[in-house]
Structure 1
Amino acid sequence: MNAMTWATDRLARAGLTNDEITDTTRLITTALSEDLACGPDPASQLTIASHAATTMEIVARQDGVLAGGPIAAVVFETVGGPHLDTCILCPDGAHVTAGTPVLRVHGRHRQLLIAERIALNLMGHLSGIATTTQRWVHALDGTGCIVRDTRSALPGLRRLQTYAVRRGGGQNHHTGRGQRILIQQHHIVHAGSLGAAVSAVRRHAPHRSWEVEVDTIDQLDEALDLGAELIIFDAATLTDCVYAVGRRDRVAPNTSLEVSGRLTLELARAYADTGVDYLALDVLTHSSPSLDLAMSAVATHAGLSP
């Protein structure tokens, strides 16, 4: 099995989709090109013998939920090739406490140091997203309301960020602009009204369902009457949500309701208790803090560079 096939198999077994695997390999290649643009680390070249081997571990420095362990492993394997051995000690989605070793890798010391920072940055970022997502999921436990991400993701990282949301127990929604027909305010303004926008969609794409984003009670009522599959109520208050759920249940019980904007972890359960189906959270992918991870040697076969 060649290196690329091995990496694809590892990532697929971890639950990444084909598109996420493609983005992972592209991102690792880009990251290595950036980091090595000026050549290898001269300090490593001057102080570590080319044949020197070491065993290193990535350790969690704080409690959190892991995501990106297999991706970090592929970073090391991309650099180290057949001379390197990795062992994932804790799977993605696992909750770990500070001090827990989560990944062990053995190989040539210089190569591990090339891969170290890229692996830590990716795994820490994705684990931070998984950790934040799980906090929201736990806040809604037992309500039936589902935590979902939004398109507010970093360019080039979107698919890996949505993978991390899943590892934290959340659900993906809009992973790409063309995935769904979502009628937003600028579409409504251009068409002249919500009704006109929906008519255009039904005329040109009669076999596709559609979703609509609203920000007033009047627009909500109209969207329910028009038969939207999903209504995203932006910046809704708790009172708005109680009204929306009650009217939905009376006139359009098959329509799902999602709330976005003005959401805080402290109010999450109160929103869920109104009966809405989803909370859509920008914070998951655009501002989750990284999980603090560190890497250190646990066994080294010393040798100075000749």
Structure 2
Amino acid sequence: MTARLSSLIVEDAVARALKEDFGDAGDITTNATIPAAANAKAVIAARKPGVIAGVDAALAAFRLTDPAINITVEKQDGARVQKGDVILSIDGPARGVLSAERVALNFMGHLSGIATATAALVDAVKGTGVKIACTRKTAPGLRAFQKHAVKCGGGHNHRFGLYDAVMIKDNHIAAAGGIAEALSAARADVGHMVKIQIEVDGFDQLEDALANGADVILLDNFEPETMKRAVEINKGRAVLEASGNITIDTVRTVAETGVDVISSGWITHSAPNLDVGLDFL
């Protein structure tokens, strides 16, 4: 089961989204048309097949809008759903349900889209032992949520930011004076618990990275045949990560080269929204 996000992170982000929506006047449409005493029964259901993420954010949207709203969770994060499957059953003040609806659906639809896209890649490489990972290509302010959604889809998280792992890219190498210089400086500066990754674009750089003790090596835009050769050269010494233009059509071929991890920015920055909707009963 995927670990839940901290309620501190969830409530802070959802509260900001609600404030953005309510502004200074609140939901003037709902307040003008719906009696304060009106009650509603509703469901949030999937309108397409997919993998669910964002349940806690949806719950927070309703709870923060009106604590009197009662919700039964029918499908947890990580659940695979078909069209028509009920995710949440809702019962409570109609005004609160209507006012929280869009924020709840925005979080759930977006995050479920990421989980669904991730699951498609995970399914495509099943049996190869390769891990599908996301990147830092996330929407500002939503990184924790998007990375959680990747895990709901069966994927793995890359580093969370600039602070939790060293990732030496081509411009770092150029500015540092070379691969050996960059790796040596990084190893001398960071603690023993910090992994060091370096990006390479050819076999010469790969050999230099291995000779200088890289923990993880990113094969940037390698073709499948060159990836196979890189795996042979590596001999299990470093974790090999493939990245660059990975699609659902190519991911299996890449996985079968023997790399350890395939990373994709697409699953967070371009995954289509999963269609989920709220309907009154």
Band of TM-score, shorter chain = over 0.9
Aligned to 1:94: 79
Aligned to 2:241: 258
Paired positions, count: 280
Deviation of 1:198 (Å)? 1.4
Aligned to 2:207: 221
Deviation of 1:165 (Å)? 0.3
Deviation of 1:206 (Å)? 6.5
User: Aligned ranges for residues 272-287 of structure 1 at < 5 Å?
Assistant: 272-287=255-270
Aligned to 2:114: 129
Tell me, yes or no, if structure 1 residue 15 matches structure 2 residue 11: no
CA distance in 2, matches of 1:205, 1:99: 51
Residues 56-88 of structure 1, C-alpha deviation per residue, up to 9 Å, x if partnerless?
Answer: 10111100000111221121011111x211111
Aligned to 2:11: 25
Aligned to 2:31: 45
Residues 191-249 of structure 1, C-alpha deviation per residue, up to 9 Å, x if partnerless?
Answer: 11111111212333363441111122221121112221100111111011011000011
Contact 1:67 1:167 in 2 (8 A): yes
Letter in 2 for 1:115: A
TM-score (norm 2): 0.96
Deviation of 1:91 (Å)? 1.3
Contact 1:236 1:262 in 2 (8 A): no
| Of 160, 168, 175, the match for 1:190 | 175
TM-score (norm 1): 0.88
CA distance in 2, matches of 1:104, 1:43: 24
Seq. identity, %: 37
Q: Which is richer in helix? A: 1
Tell me, yes or no, if structure 1 residue 107 matches structure 2 residue 95: no
Query: What root-mean-square deviation, in Å, do the aligned CA atoms of Structure 1 and Structure 2 show?
Result: 1.4
Residues 284-304 of structure 1, C-alpha deviation per residue, up to 9 Å, x if partnerless?
Answer: 110001100111111xxxxxx
5+ unaligned residues in a row in structure 2: which ranges?
none
| Of 156, 163, 166, the match for 2:151 | 166
5+ unaligned residues in a row in structure 1: which ranges?
1-12, 299-306
| Of 267, 272, 278, the match for 1:289 | 272
Contact 1:14 1:70 in 2 (8 A): no
Aligned to 2:132: 147
CA distance in 1, matches of 2:101, 2:165: 39
